[in-house]
Amino acid sequence: MTRTAIRGDLLDLTADPGLTATSPAGVRFDTDHWLLIDGGRIVGRQPEAPGEGWTHIDHAGRLVMPGFIDTHVHMPQLEVIASHGAELLDWLNTYTFPAETRFADPDVSRAGAALFADALLAHGTTAAVVFPTVHKVSAEAMFEAAAARGMRCISGKVLMNRHAPPGLLDDVEQAEADCQDLINRWHGRERQAFALTVRFAPCSTREQLAMAGRLLASRPDLYMQTHVAENRAEVAWAAELFPEARSYLDVYHRHGLLGPRAVLAHGIWLDDADRALLAATGAQIAHCPSSNLFLGSGLIGWQALVDAGAAVTLASDVGGGTSLSMPRTLAEAYKVQALNGLKLSAWALLHAATRGAAQALHLDHEIGTLQPGCMADVTVWDWAVGPVAAQRDARAASLHERFFAWLTLADDRNLAQTFVAGHSRHLRTTEPR
C-alpha cells in the first residue's frame, strides 16, 4: 500500500477539554505539518516533507482533522429531510414510516445505502451509528455500502413489532433469527459492528425487548441503539404502555438493554435518577440538536448529564435533523446550550464529535484522533469559504476564536477531501463559492 503524507494544519484532541475551557492542555495543533499514513493507519507527523517512497498531498493552509463520528443518524430518511410542520409522533406517521416502507425493496435499500454513505463522506463524517429500517435487507445494504468504502459503521435491523404500519412490523422469532444472521455475517468484520436496534420502547412489546436483551447479553461486544425521552408526548406514551417502569429509561434497563455500548438518542426529558442510571451503566446520550430544535422537542441538559457522570456525544439525526454536516450540528449544539445558560467551548463540541464519541463507543484505539496507530480516517477543510468567513478568520486573535468561528460558519462547502483508512473517498473538484 502507498505511503501517504498529507500537509496542512493538524488539529485534534488528546484529552477531555471539559465544557467551557478555551485553552485546555489537550488541544494538539501543529501548523503546516505533514501527517504520515502507512498501511491505512497514521504513523506520525513532522514539520518537513518525507522523502522518497511517499505520496505527497499538499493541503497547506487548510485544516486537517480526524473524520467526524455521527452517533445517531437514519439512513432511509434522506428523502424526508426538511419536511414541514410536525412534532415527533406526527413526524413518524406522516413522513418517516411511509418512506421507510419502501426499503423492503432490495434495490431501494442498496441505492439508499450507497447514497447515504457517499453523503456522509461528502460532509466529512467517516464513522456513524446508523438506523436502517425494520427490513433485514436494509441493514445488509448499509453494512455492504459502509464496507465497500472502508467506513466504520455500527448498525442493525430495526426492531419494531407494534404501533407501526403493517409493512414495518416484524415478529419476535423472525427478528431474532435475522439479527443472529446479521451478527454472524457482519459483526467484527470489515470495520462493521452490529447494534440491537430498538426503534423506541413504544414500538416493541415486552417480549421483543426481552429478546433484544438476551442477544445483547450473549455477546458483550455488541452495541444497542434506540431513542429515549425525546418528546413529552412520547414520554407519556411510554409511561402508559409500561406502567411498571419507573421511567422511560427504566424500560430499557428492566430488559437488560443499558450498558457501556448502549447509544440512546436525545435524552431530553430525563430526571436525576435517569442520569445516575446512565452513569452507572455506562450508556451514552447522543445529543441531536438540530433535530430537537426542528421538531420542537426541547433543550437537553448537557451540564446535568456530565455532572452525573454520563457521556454525551453529538449526532445529526437526519432526517429529523436538518443537515448531515457535523460542523453545523456543533453550531446548533452551542445554541441549544446557550439557551440553557451554558456557553460550550469549541473544544467541548469538537471532542463530542471526535475523541469523546470514539471513547464512548470504545473505539478510541481506532478513530477520533490523529494519534499514531489510529486508522487514517482524516478530513481536510478550508478555514474559510467566502468573503465574510475569510474576514472573520483573518481577525481571529487565538486558536479557539479561529476554530469557533470555523465551526459556526463552516459546512460541507469547506470540505476539500475525505480519507478513510488512508484512501481518498471524497474530493472536491471545484472551488467553493
Question: pLDDT tens for residues 125-149?
Answer: 999 999 999 999 999 999 999 999 9
Compute the distance between CA of residue 93 and CA of residue 87 in angstroms, rounded to an integer. 10
Q: What percent of the chain has pLDDT over 90?
A: 93
Count Cβ neighbours within 10 Å for each residue of 8-42 and write b for 16 or more, e otherwise.
Answer: bbbbbbeebbebeebebeebeebeebbbbbbebbb
Mean pLDDT value of segment 351-358 = 98
- pLDDT above 80 (res 370): yes
pLDDT score of 275: 98
pLDDT value at residue 49: 97
The whole-number pLDDT of residue 135 equals: 97
Query: If pLDDT is split at 50, 70 and 90, which confidence band does 1 have?
Result: low
Query: Is residue 327 helix, strand or coil?
Result: helix
Q: What local confidence, expressed as pLDDT, does residue 85 receive?
A: 73
pLDDT higher at 99 or 180: 180
Q: What is the pLDDT of residues 177-230, one digit of tens each?
A: 999 999 999 999 999 999 999 999 999 999 999 999 999 999 999 999 999 999
Domain residue ranges in the chain:
3-66+370-427, 68-324
CB 225 within 8 A of CB 129: yes
Please report the pLDDT score of residue 220 as a whole number.
93
**pLDDT for position 382:** 98
DSSP conformation class of 96: I
Express each pLDDT in 411-422 by its tens digit: 999 999 999 999
Superfamily of domain 68-324: Metal-dependent hydrolases (3.20.20.140)
Average pLDDT (296-313) is 97
Q: For 307-335, how does the pLDDT look when each residue is reduced to its tens digit (9 = 90+)?
A: 999 999 999 999 899 999 999 999 999 99
CA distances from 421 to 41, 71, 380, 401 (A): 6, 19, 14, 31
- Average pLDDT of the chain? 96
Report residue 111's pLDDT band, with 50, 70 and 90 as the boundaries: very high
pLDDT number for residue 39:
96
pLDDT of 383 over the 90 cut: yes
Per-residue pLDDT for 162 more than 70? Answer: yes
pLDDT of residue 136: 98
φ/ψ (deg, to 5) at 149: -105, 0
Domain range 3-66+370-427, CATH class: mainly beta
